[in-house]
Amino acid sequence: MSAPTTDARTYRQLLEALSGLLLVLFVAMLSSTVVSTALPKIIGALNGSQTQYTWVVTATLLTATATTPIWGKLADLFNKKLLIQISIVIFVIGSAVAGASQNAGELIAARAFQGIGVGGLQALVQVAIAAMIPPRERGRYNGYLGGVMALATVGGPLLGGLIVDTSWLGWRWCFYIGVPVAIIALILLQLTLHLPTNRRDNVKIDYLGATLIAAGVSLLLIWISFVDDTFAWLSWQTYAMVGGTIILLALAVLVESRAAEPIIPLPIVRQRNTALAILASLAVGMAMFGGAVFLGQYFQIGRGYSPTEAGLLTIPLMAGVLVTSIVSGRMITKTGRIKPYIIAGAVVLVAGFAVLSTIDHQTALWYVGIGMFLVGAGVGMSMQNLVLAVQNTVALKDIGAASSTVAFFRSLGGTIGVSVLGAVLARRVTDQITHDLAAAGVQGTGSGGASALNLTALPEPIVHIIRAAYGDATGHIFLISAIIGIVGIIAAVAMRPVMLRDSLDLPDELKAAAIAADAIDGAPAIDQVDTTRR
């Protein structure tokens, strides 16, 4: 049954509130995409390395991933609107500090702080929309979400390229540009967004669980970034980091199972469709983040295009997201069925990665464009719909935790994906450049150090070797993405088919069924019930 506040809400009021939320989502996504084409020049200007290149992106994803479930849990307990506004303020401060960075280390630290705000925005926008719109109708509005995502992902690389190619602006404005947009969003939400507050007495936030999760994930990513470069696969550092990760995450699961208000509610995660959506989200996260990050580097360093040209060349990726997210969203609202679109998205995603896995530094651009469009189409059909599939199975009071749990694992997939793919790319590039320089009789490391990314300081023969190495290595990392994407297909096929419910909250009889199922085996079975009943 829909809440009274939603029944009384006019369509115009809904669109006004939605406009503020979509602007917030645009700002959050722009913060990542605007630097995707500018990063080669940014790292070159700061004399950074290939590892630092990866960590400029990973730092934001890491803190966003670690804080997303915390924001989601807070949204189930406190004022959602206030939490969104706090996230925006953190994002604005992080953006301003990033723009003022004097070296790569400072930039990484600022991006990590910025990620705390991004984590709030990516979780809370979904939560706020879920609190206003029933799941079945939400399919249509997910099309709007897809449109905003496509605009941010198309406009971001183009804007970033124009900024770094404009002498009187410079790369720092890639971070400053989001500040006024975020402030406008803050004001707009203050005027238009009105959501009920769920306040409970004696609330206890599971800070211990959140700390253990963040520590475990961080340690894993640090190991991924440095293994086989700074230290060997079989070394005391590997044993310490991998062992520490396992211990920290095992303790996190133990704490979450006993916490009164767990950050990641295990009963929700144990639901079949939720668990499978998490698996599929890991693959989608890798596609969404890894694709944009390394394609920008491929076009600039591997192919020699300017940042602006690189942004234009990524348009097929974003066009795929735009078209399929809008079309699939409307079809889902019309039919109430979601599983076929998630499966189709996962299959198309893998097909796109398979195409991109064959590229090198001389591949025809039309062929690369086909691969990018397929990847974008796969993301558009699956990313938001995986969140929607989970939201459909839980009561309104748990919508924040459920939404943020999927967002957490999607971000985790993206973070691990960028780290793993970045480490593989750096290693292959290092080996290839070292080999080719030696064959050419040139002495030097040629690795992923500062010189490899600051091409303007190098002679033309060495520049050619570096471009070929980056161009040829990029296809290999997309082959890894395609293999991992197959897991997403398997997870999507295994999901139970459900009809999206027409009400904001679960009917009372389904809530009772969920409670009974929890009492029997701790595994809610809501997703097995036809939720179209009102």
In a domain, 521, yes or no: no
As a whole number of angstroms, the distance between CA 472 and CA 65 comes to 31
Give the residue from 78, 143, 358 showing the smallest Cα distance to 87: 78
| 354 and 389 assigned to the same domain | yes
Q: Is 499 helix (H, G, I), strand (E, B) or coil?
A: strand
| 183 and 215 assigned to the same domain | no
Domain boundary among 260, 281, 301: 260
| 286 and 216 assigned to the same domain | no
Domain boundary among 260, 284, 303: 260
Query: What CATH number does residue 102 fall under?
Result: 1.20.1250.20
The structure tokens listed for 290 are 């890894």
| 334 and 218 assigned to the same domain | no
pLDDT value at residue 243: 94
Contact 41, 55 (CB under 8 A): no
| 179 and 325 assigned to the same domain | yes
The structure tokens listed for 223 are 């190991």
Across 446-482, b (16+ Cβ under 10 Å) vs e yields bbbbbbbbbbeebeeebeebbbbbbbbbbbebbebbb
As a whole number of angstroms, the distance between CA 303 and CA 467 comes to 6
In a domain, 355, yes or no: yes
| 151 and 250 assigned to the same domain | no
| 241 and 272 assigned to the same domain | no
Domain boundary among 260, 276, 301: 260
Which helix H or strand E contains 136, and what residues bound it?
A: helix 135-165
The structure tokens listed for 416 are 């691990």
| 218 and 286 assigned to the same domain | no
Query: What residues pair up with 231 in beta bridges, in sequence order?
Result: 227
In a domain, 522, yes or no: no
pTM of the model: 0.73
pLDDT value at residue 90: 94
In a domain, 534, yes or no: no
In a domain, 527, yes or no: no
| 246 and 391 assigned to the same domain | no
pLDDT, averaged per 10 consecutive residues of the chain (534 residues), comes to 46 76 82 76 78 77 78 78 90 91 89 89 80 69 69 73 81 87 86 68 72 83 73 86 93 86 75 82 72 76 81 83 82 82 91 91 91 90 79 68 73 74 80 80 51 61 81 85 87 81 53 42 39 38
Contact 134, 70 (CB under 8 A): no
| 137 and 245 assigned to the same domain | no
As a whole number of angstroms, the distance between CA 364 and CA 358 comes to 11
The structure tokens listed for 352 are 């796109």
Q: What is the pLDDT of residues 470-516, one digit of tens each?
A: 888 888 888 888 888 888 899 889 888 777 655 555 555 444 444 34
Across 77-108, b (16+ Cβ under 10 Å) vs e yields bbbbbebbbbbbebbbbbbebbbebeebeebb
As a whole number of angstroms, the distance between CA 155 and CA 315 comes to 9
| Owning domain of residue 495 | 4-195+261-500
| 391 and 449 assigned to the same domain | yes
| 240 and 293 assigned to the same domain | no
In a domain, 511, yes or no: no
In a domain, 189, yes or no: yes
pLDDT value at residue 528: 40
Sign of CA dihedral 215, 218, 224, 229: negative
In a domain, 524, yes or no: no
Q: Give Cα 330 distance to the centre of its chain.
A: 23
Q: How many domains does the chain have?
A: 2
Sign of CA dihedral 189, 191, 193, 194: positive
